[in-house]
């Protein structure tokens, strides 16, 4: 199960759960997307919580780390696009 928390409280709105996709090794992947504005992300702490029978305890991932990487990638893409023009 994949869920989201805002400041330690469950978030149910603005969550998109994607279909389960198979991997070549027989495992699978599942995606959950939480839509959050940059302003809200700065004001609050968001975490992704993953529960699975293979885990001894829930896996809790801070959203800010993922967002920083995505923002850097987007900025690099924009810079590359501008250089090509």
For the chain, list the domains and their CATH numbers: 2-84 (2.60.40.10)
Average pLDDT over residues 41-46: 90
Instruction: Give the global pTM.
Output: 0.69
Average pLDDT over residues 45-62: 92
Average pLDDT over residues 48-63: 91
pLDDT at 38: 83
pLDDT at 13: 94
Residue with tokens 């992300």: 41
pLDDT at 4: 94
pLDDT averaged over the chain? 82
What is the helix (H) or strand (E) element at residue 46, kind and residue range? strand 46-50
């Amino acid at each position: 199960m994949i869920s989201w928390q805002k400041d330690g409280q469950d978030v149910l709105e603005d969550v998109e759960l994607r279909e389960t996709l198979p991997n070549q090794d027989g495992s699978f992947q599942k995606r959950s997307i939480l839509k959050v504005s940059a302003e809200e992300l700065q004001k609050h702490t968001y975490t992704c919580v993953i529960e699975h029978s293979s885990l001894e305890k829930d896996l809790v991932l801070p959203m800010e780390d993922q967002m920083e990487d995505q923002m850097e990638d987007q900025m690099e893409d924009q810079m590359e696009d501008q250089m090509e023009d």
